[in-house]
Amino acid sequence: MLISLKEALAYGEENNCGIAAINTPTFEMLVAAINVAERFDVPLILAHAEVHDPVNSIENIGSAMVALAKRSSAKLVVHVDHGESIEFIKRGFEVGFNSAMYDGSRLPYEENLAITKEAVKLAKQYDANVEAELGVMPGREDGKDSTTGIGDRALYTDPQLAADFVSRTGVDALACSFGTVHGLYKAEPKLDYDLIVELRKATGVPIVMHGGSGLATEEYRSCISRGVQKINYYTYADKAALEGVKKFLADEPDTYVMAPVTVAAQEAVERDLSELVKCLYNKN
CA dihedral 258, 20, 167, 85 (to 10 degrees): 0
Handedness of CA 6, 11, 17, 23 (dihedral sign): negative
Count of residues making up the chain: 284
DSSP class per residue in 218-238: HHHHHHHHTTEEEEEE-HHHH
Handedness of CA 132, 74, 271, 252 (dihedral sign): negative
Gap between the Cα atoms of 280 and 18, Å rounded: 5
81 is catalytic: yes
> Hey, which residues does 130 pair with through a beta bridge?
100
In the set 41, 53, 81, 164, the catalytic residue is 81
Nearest one of 238, 189, 186 to 218, comparing CA atoms: 189
Active site residues: 81
